[in-house]
Amino acid sequence: MKNIRKLRIYVSQKLMATLLLVACVTIVSCDPSIEALEFELPEANSQEDLTPPSAEFLASVGGDYLTYTFSNLSISATSYLWDYGDGNTSTDVDGENTFPDEGTYTVTLTATDNLGVSSSYSEEVVVEEPEVLPTLIPEILEAGFDNGDSGDIPTEIDSRDPWRNDFGGVIQITSSNGYYEGSYGAKLPTAGDRAGYQVIGEFTPNKNYLLNFKYAFRDQVGDDGKLYVAMVRPMDSIEEFEDNTVEIVTYTESIAGDGALLTGSLLFNSGGNTSLAIYFFNELDEAYIDSFEITALD
């Protein structure tokens, strides 16, 4: 019986201690004046940001001088705000903006991560209309072959000289059969072993040009004759022809017929070149070419 009584007393004492603890907690929570038991909660973003964002971009001119594109080079960011300095903004990853006019604009990119940490990068963009340079028209020496062949006719200049090359025999000069315009024209015999080549300079890069000329075939070996006219980058050997060809056109006797002087043309873009070369040759039948002329299309 004594043991049972002691157990009841122990349980009662423990229950009393629990009730007192609950009461104390209740009183403390209701009484703000008890500062000793207050708990401080962590502030927002108090966790250390081990990989903070870093904003950066690269600006480049787009299709016209007013339009710029901006490549986003930021790291450790998840959202972006572009301020283009002209009132326009964007939240795209990469930026693009058409400015209203010439001037200097401060473009700012703000990059933010998921913890709310931000980084800003600014750069001045100078918008100005580029100077439009006149398109250069290169000179073709002996374009009409009108000084003739000094080996047969005394003249100051031999029309063949500017066209001499290491890619075939020297072209002939003709003033017969009406296969020319003006006083003389160039002749390519049936054997196809002669060629004309002339480097001409002073091209404006990345411009469209049109090379016009007159040509004809003489029916000596059926109707299989071909005439090739190419614009090529300057070359030292015939092995470079394929790789150096900018543009080429082929005229066939079966379509052009023979005995008539026709107009041919070759459209090409100068690309990054300031000098190019005209290269022409024939195959399978006698051909004539004359009156080269270059014009710019834009």
pLDDT tens readout for residues 53-107? 999 999 999 889 999 999 999 999 999 999 999 999 999 999 999 999 999 999 9
Q: How far is CA 205 from CA 135, 136, 159, in A?
A: 9, 9, 29
- pLDDT at 248 exceeding the cut of 90: yes
Q: Is residue 266 part of a domain?
A: yes
Residue at a domain's end among 127, 151, 183: 127
Q: What is the pLDDT of residue 47?
A: 61
Query: Which one has a higher pLDDT value, 12 or 256?
Result: 256
**Residues 178 and 284 placed together within one structural domain of the fold:** yes
**Residues 193 and 115 placed together within one structural domain of the fold:** no
Domain encompassing residue 75: 57-127
Which among 199, 148, 200 has a CA at the least distance from the CA of 173? 148
**Residues 177 and 222 placed together within one structural domain of the fold:** yes
**Residues 91 and 182 placed together within one structural domain of the fold:** no
Q: Is residue 152 part of a domain?
A: no
Q: Is residue 50 part of a domain?
A: no
- pLDDT at 204 exceeding the cut of 60: yes
Q: Is residue 255 part of a domain?
A: yes
Residue at a domain's end among 107, 127, 147: 127
**Residues 169 and 74 placed together within one structural domain of the fold:** no
Q: How far is CA 177 from CA 81, 174, 181, 226, in A?
A: 75, 9, 11, 19
CATH number at residue 204: 2.60.120.260
Q: What is the pLDDT of residue 145?
A: 95
**Residues 209 and 279 placed together within one structural domain of the fold:** yes
Q: What is the pLDDT of residue 251?
A: 96
Tally of domains in the chain: 2
Q: Is residue 2 part of a domain?
A: no
Range of lowest pLDDT (38-42, 198-202, 218-222, 278-282): 38-42
| Beta bridge mates, 173 | 186
Q: Which residues contact residue 245 at a Cβ distance below 8 angstroms, ignoring those fewer than 6 apart?
A: 230, 231, 232
Query: Which one has a higher pLDDT value, 57 or 28?
Result: 57
CATH number at residue 105: 2.60.40.10
Which pTM was predicted?
Answer: 0.58
Give the pLDDT band (50/70/90) at residue 219.
Answer: confident
Q: Is residue 186 part of a domain?
A: yes
Per-chain mean pLDDT for the chain = 85
Q: Using H for helix, E for strand and C for coil, what is the string for the chain?
A: CHHHHHHHHHHHHHHHHHHHHHHHHHHHHHCCCCHHHCCCCCCCCCCCCCCCCECCEEEEECCCCCEEEEEECCECCCEEEEECCCCCEECCCCEEEECCCCEEEEEEEEEECCCCCEEEEEEEEEECCCCCCCCCCCCCCCCCCCCCCCCCCCCCCCCCHHHCCCCCECCEEECCCCCCCCCCEEEECCCCCEEEEEEECCCCCCCEEEEEEEEEEECCECECCEEEEEEECCCCCHHHHHHHEEEEEEEEHHHHCCCCCEEEEEEEECCCCCCEEEEEEEECCEEEEEEEEEEECC
**Residues 290 and 178 placed together within one structural domain of the fold:** yes
**Residues 93 and 214 placed together within one structural domain of the fold:** no
CA distance 28 to 20: 12
Residue at a domain's end among 75, 107, 127: 127
**Residues 64 and 185 placed together within one structural domain of the fold:** no
Q: What is the pLDDT of residue 260?
A: 81
**Residues 288 and 196 placed together within one structural domain of the fold:** yes
Q: Is residue 224 part of a domain?
A: yes
**Residues 119 and 235 placed together within one structural domain of the fold:** no
Q: Is residue 239 part of a domain?
A: yes
By the 8 A CB rule, do 211 and 291 touch? no
**Residues 165 and 243 placed together within one structural domain of the fold:** yes
Q: What is the pLDDT of residue 22?
A: 40
